[in-house]
Amino acid sequence: MTKPDATATVVAAAGRRIDSVGAMPERFPLRNCGRVRDAISSLFRERTPAIVISSASCGSDLLALEAAEKLGIRYRVVLPFSADRFRGSSVTDRPGEWGPVFDRLVAAAALRGDLVTLDHREGVATDDAYAATNVAILDEADARAAASGAVRIAAIAWEGGSRGADDLTDQFRREAASRGWEIVEVPTR
């Protein structure tokens, strides 16, 4: 039996999508991508996760997955439904060239067996499917951390303020905190 490595780290990453054109208030403007990408990369270099688990929405999710890829860190992608449907509803519907990034990262994850599709059907409300995805990301990360004795970090890229009860980023943050996770916030503004 392998002895657990308490220095290992599992990161569950989530956060804001890129703002739509003219969004007010701004939560994650496209112009801040470089700074957020650098902050996420710095976090990963400092904490050296064994794996990063995230969804793949435009903005914070894809920036985290890209950072993991560039640093040679294994990443796992969890989607609420098919990649094609997700791409249209959560990737290419906002400013920026996110489609090719999504396609590359998801294809690589699928080849390694690191793409999880929860298969929520058309009848399921999208917010419910996304909320279930957040829980699935944390559940998977919890299971991996428990198996290895790893430290659990929730990396959350956002502006730090909840939009209210339906704020999926804040729901992710609160759920991770309730499970005793270390929360690391990356500012998007």
Could you read off the pLDDT of 55-114 as tens digits, one per residue? 999 999 999 999 999 999 999 999 999 999 999 999 999 999 999 999 999 999 999 999
User: Mean pLDDT score of the chain, rounded to an integer?
Assistant: 94
Please state the length of the chain: 189
- pLDDT at residue 9 is higher than 80: yes
Domain for residue 2, yes or no?
no
Containing structural domain, residue 127: 9-187
186: its two tokens: 């990356």
- State both tokens at 112: 């390694």
User: Which of the four pLDDT bands, split at 50, 70 and 90, describes residue 29?
Assistant: very high
Residue 3 counted as domain residue: no
CATH number at 124 reads 3.40.50.450
- Looking at the domain assignment, is residue 97 inside a domain? yes
Q: Is residue 1 part of a domain?
A: no
Q: What is the pLDDT of residues 119-135, one digit of tens each?
A: 766 655 578 899 999 99
How many Å is the maximal CA-CA distance in the chain?
55
Q: Round to whole Å and give the CA distance between 123 and 137.
A: 22
Q: What is the pLDDT of residue 30?
A: 97
pLDDT tens digit sequence for 135-154: 999 999 999 999 999 999 99
Question: In the prediction, which pLDDT does 119 show?
Answer: 78
Are the C-beta atoms of 46 and 94 separated by less than 8 Å?
Answer: no
Q: How many domains does the chain have?
A: 1
pTM summary value? 0.93
Residue 31 lies in a domain: yes
Domain membership flag for residue 74: yes
Within 10 angstroms of residue 153's Cβ, the number of other Cβ atoms is 23
Average pLDDT over every residue of 160-183: 97
Compute the average pLDDT of residues 7-12: 91
Q: Which residue has better confidence, 71 or 3?
A: 71
Asked if the structure places residue 4 within a domain, the reply is: no
**Arithmetic mean of pLDDT, 11-17:** 98
pLDDT over 70 at 5, yes or no: no
CA separation for the pair 48, 28 (Å, rounded): 25
Q: What is the structure's pLDDT at 127? A: 84
- Output DSSP code: residue 24: S
The pLDDT of residue 130 is: 94
- Tokens 């990161």: give the residue: 11
